[in-house]
Structure 1
Amino acid sequence: MMVRALSADWLKIRGKGIWFLAALGPIGLVAMQGLNFGLRYDYLMKSYADDPWGGLLENVLFFVPIALFLGITLVCSLMANVEHQLSSWKQLLALPISRTAVFSAKFVQAFLILCVSCILLTLGTAGLGLLLGMGVEQMPYLDLLRIGFVQLFAALPMLALQLWLSLTLKNQGLPVSIGITASVVSMFAFQFPNWMPLKWPLLAYMGPGEAKVIGAGLLLGVVIACAGLIHFNRKDVD
C-alpha cells in the first residue's frame, strides 16, 4: 500500500522544483568552496599540504548542517504544499489507502530526495578535489560518502519534525520559520553541548562518539515520526 502511495507522490512532485532544490544545495556548497579555494589556492594548499583532501572536507563540513536543515525544511514544505494548495487531502484520504501509508510514503520520499543531495555532494566534492589537483590515490572515498550521509542520519529528527508540521499545518509559516532558525543557529553548533540535536550532524562526522550520535539521531527521528504519524492519523483534514 505504501508503495502505491509513494509511486503517486513521485508523479505529484513533477515540475514543482523539488529536484532543482535538491541539486541546488550541494552544487551551491561545492561551488562556494571552489571559489574559496580558487581565490586562496596557494595559501590553502600550503596550509593543508599534509592532507589536502582533509582540508577540503573540513571546509565543506561546517556548511553541510546549514544546507541540510534548510533543504529538509524546503523539501518537506514543497511536498506538503502539493496537497495543501490543491486542497486534495480529503480526496487522497478517501481512497482505499491508510493514513499510515500516506505519511510513511512522504517520509520515505523526502528521505530519498535528500539522499540524492548527499550523493551529489559526494560527487561534487570529489570532482572539486580533482580539479584542484589533489591526487586520486589519496582520495578518501569513505570520508566523501560520510560527509553527507552520516549528517543526514543525525538530522533525521529535524526531517521527522518538519514533515509532521508541514503535513498537518496548511500555513507553512511555522515549519519554515523553525527550519530557517535551525539553519542559522547551526552555524554556532560547536558551542552547544553534545546532547543538543542541532550539533549532532557535526558530531556524527567528527565525533566524539560518532556511532552513538548516529544511533541517537535515528532513534529520536523514529520517535518524532511516530508522534507525527499518530497526530496525522487522528487529525481532521480540510
Structure 2
Amino acid sequence: MRVMAAELLKIRRKMIWFLVVLGPLGVVGLQAVNFGLRYDYLTKQYANDLWGGLINNVTMMMVPTLFMGLAILASMTAGIEHQTNAWKQTLALPITRTQVFTGKFLLSVLLLFCSSTLLIVGTVGLGAALGFDLGDVPYKHLLELIYYPYLAIMPFIALQVWLSVLMHNQAIPLTVGIVGTVFSMFSNRFDDWMPYKWPYLDNAADNPLFSVAAGVVTGIVVLAAGTLNFVRKDVK
C-alpha cells in the first residue's frame, strides 16, 4: 500500500490521468459520431436490441484502444524514473525490488480499470443521449464485454511494464505496443493459443471465460518473469 501511495503521488500532476479519461472519451465520442450520422440506419438494424448494438460497437473499438493505452500508460509511469534518473533513489528506499516492480504493474492495472469503468459510464450516457430506454440497459452484458477484455489483456500489461521499466529508451516499448495493437486486429485468423486473440473473447468453445482465464494465468506468469528479471538486473 505504501508503494502504491507513492506511485499515485508521482502521477498526481502528470498527463497520465488525462490519458485515462481520453481513451474512453475517444471511444464513446467516435460511436456518438457513428450513431449520430447513421442514426436511422443503425437503429433500424438494431431495432430488436438497441443497447446490444451500441455495446457491441463500443467494445469493437475498445480492445485496440486498450492495447494502445496500456503501452502508453506503462511507458509514462516507468518514464518518470527514467527521465529524472531516479531509479537508484527509488531502489534505495526500504522496499524490495519485487514491491517496486509489482507497484508499477498494479498502477497500470488500476489506471486501465479506471478507464474501463469510465467507458461503462460513457456507454450508458451515450445510449441515454440517443434516446434509448435506460430501463432496458443489459448491465450484466455490458460489464462482461468491458471487464472481460480488461482481464484477458493482463499478459500485455505485465509485458509492457517489464519492457518500460528495463529500457531507458521508451521508443522500443512503445513500438512493441503499437505493433501489437495492429497485430491484434488480425488475431482472429489465428488459433486460440494466440494471446493477442484473448481480449476479443473469441475462442472455439464460444465461452469468454476461457479467454479471461488464459489471460489472467498468463499475466501472472509474465509478471513473475518480469519481477524475477527486474530483481536480478541493474536498472539505471
RMSD: 1.5
Q: TM-score, normalised by structure 1?
A: 0.95
Does structure 2 retain, via aligned residues, the 8 Å contact 1:62–1:187? no
State the Cα distance separating 1:204 from its structure 2 match.
6.5
Task: Report matched runs for 1:38-53 at 5 Å.
Answer: 38-53=36-51
1:13 to 11, 30, 52: 11
Q: How big is each residue's C-alpha offset from its partner over 1:134-172, in whole Å with a ceiling of 9 and x where there is no partner?
A: 111211111222222111100000000000000011111
Q: Higher mean Cα deviation, 26-35 or 98-107?
A: 98-107
1:31 maps to: 29
Task: Report matched runs for 1:139-178 at 5 Å.
Answer: 139-178=137-176
State the Cα distance separating 1:188 from its structure 2 match.
2.2
Give, in whole Å, the separation in 1 of the partners of 2:138 and 2:202.
Answer: 17
Give percent identity, aligned residues only.
Answer: 47
Secondary structure in structure 1 of the residue aligned to 2:191: coil
Corresponding residue pairs, total: 236
Paired letter, 1:20: F
Q: Higher mean Cα deviation, 170-179 or 201-210?
A: 201-210
Give, in whole Å, the separation in 2 of the partners of 1:64 and 1:225.
Answer: 23
Does structure 2 retain, via aligned residues, the 8 Å contact 1:100–1:229? yes
Establish whether residue 225 from structure 1 lines up as the match of residue 223 from structure 2: yes
Secondary structure in structure 1 of the residue aligned to 2:93: coil
State the Cα distance separating 1:68 from its structure 2 match.
0.2
Runs of 5+ in structure 1 lacking a partner? none
Paired letter, 2:114: V
Task: Report matched runs for 1:1-238 at 5 Å.
Answer: 3-203=1-201, 208-238=206-236
Secondary structure in structure 2 of the residue aligned to 1:167: helix
Q: How big is each residue's C-alpha offset from its partner over 1:48-67, in whole Å with a ceiling of 9 and x where there is no partner?
A: 00001111111112111110
Does structure 2 retain, via aligned residues, the 8 Å contact 1:151–1:205? no
Paired letter, 1:146: E
Does structure 2 retain, via aligned residues, the 8 Å contact 1:18–1:75? yes
Tell me: CA distance 1:199–1:175, structure 2 relative to 1, closer, same or farther (3 Å).
same
Secondary structure in structure 2 of the residue aligned to 1:9: helix
Does structure 1 retain, via aligned residues, the 8 Å contact 2:195–2:215? yes
Q: How big is each residue's C-alpha offset from its partner over 1:172-224, in whole Å with a ceiling of 9 and x where there is no partner?
A: 12210110111122222322322211111111699712112111100000000
Q: TM-score, normalised by structure 2?
A: 0.96
Tell me: CA distance 1:42–1:205, structure 2 relative to 1, closer, same or farther (3 Å).
farther
The 4+ residue runs of structure 1 with deviation greater than 4 A are 204-207
